[in-house]
Amino acid sequence: MAALLFAALILFSGQAAEGARNGLAVCARTLAPSLLPFFVLSGLLSELGLADLLAGSLGVWAARLFRISPAGAQAFLLGVTGGYPLGAAAVADLRRKGLVSRREGERLAAFCNNSGPAFILGAAGGVFQSPRAGVLLYVTHVLAAVAVGLLMRPKTAPVPDRDAPPAAGSAPFAKALPAAMTRAVYATLNVCGYVVVFSSLLALLTSRLDLPRPAMALFTGFFELGGGIAALAGCAPEPAALACAALILGWGGLSVHCQTAGVLADTDIRCARHLAGRALCGVIAAVCTYVGALALF
């Protein structure tokens, strides 16, 4: 497989280079400016002990609703406000600090790693040239994440993991900021690297395909989120097109799954439940969006 891809890159180097340029443009215009500050904030809040604060406020209702540790509320909050793969990064931080068990971390990764409002309202809403469509897509995306969390919640509340590393206390700001900055830069470069590679490969695949716009969007979105949403440009905000966008946003694309695997690589959290959660989130969001679009458009 690798040899075939290498040969394709040589034979169709022009298309591959154009795809890579498009991927770099997406990184420069959208991903780096939006993700880097959130990655820094996520790491900083984790280093400063935000999980302990959330355990006494936001974590209370999250623990009751999803049957997770109160500290897990941090991952859900950052996941629905920061975008892929910030939720997974927050889960990884919690696991490294011993605030959640491996099993709970895998469950959190299934519904806490979501697309953020900046991308959905800006990019997805802009594709349909309708702010109302962007709001609908974001609301149904969050509702789908909540639904997945409820469907995957255990019968009983989590118990402390005896094998987990001891929880670390909060670090001083002078130490927390450089640590958060280093991890944030690495995570952002990791995300952008995957986007460029997948954009290049998609340019090779789609250059030989002639599919209707929704089908092309779904095909592209299966691999890469931004390209899938961009393929819907020019579509009217109709129920079918909006449901297609919701499915792409909920699934996230193989590029996002690779980014997530990279973020979780230095923990013992496995990605199987994350994949199942993203697929389920996409389906639920698509159904909710279709119903909501019938009422709004």
Give the model confidence (pLDDT) of 64-76 as tens digits: 889 888 878 888 8
The answer to whether residue 8 is domain-embedded is no
What are the helix (H) ranges across 83-130? 86-96, 102-112, 117, 125-127
Helix (H) or strand (E) holding 5: helix 2-11
Sign of the C-alpha dihedral computed for residues 31, 276, 96 and 64 taken in this order:
positive
CA within 13 Å, CB half, 59: 16
The answer to whether residue 197 is domain-embedded is yes
**pLDDT for residue 277:** 96
The answer to whether residue 7 is domain-embedded is no
Ramachandran bin of 158, using left for φ above 0, alpha for ψ from -120 to 50, beta for the remaining angles:
beta
Is 282:249 a contact under the CB 8 Å cutoff? Answer: yes
Q: How confident is the model at residue 260 (pLDDT cuts 50, 70, 90)?
A: very high
The answer to whether residue 139 is domain-embedded is yes
Structure tokens that stand for 132 in this block:
């109302």
Type of residue at 223: F
Give the C-alpha separation, 158 to 233, whole Å.
Answer: 44
162-196 burial: b if 16+ Cβ within 10 Å, else e: eebeebeeebeeeebbeebeebbeebbebbbbbbb
Cis peptide before 85 (omega within 30 of 0): yes
Look at residue 139 and tell me whether its pLDDT is greater than 90. yes
Average pLDDT estimate for 99-128: 88
Cα angle: 237, vertex 241, 246; to 5 degrees: 100
Domains in the chain: how many in total? 1
Type of residue at 205: L
Closest CA to 19 of 200, 195, 231, 255: 200
Instruction: Name residue, tokens 């716009």.
Output: 213
**pLDDT for residue 201:** 83
Type of residue at 266: D
Type of residue at 195: V
Type of residue at 290: Y
- Which of residues 38 and 219 earns the better pLDDT score? 219
| pTM of the complete model | 0.82
Domain that holds residue 236: 13-154+171-296
The answer to whether residue 162 is domain-embedded is no
The answer to whether residue 3 is domain-embedded is no
State what percent of residues in the chain have pLDDT above 90.
33
The answer to whether residue 249 is domain-embedded is yes
Average pLDDT estimate for 232-256: 93
The answer to whether residue 6 is domain-embedded is no
Neighbours of 154 (CB within 10 A): 12
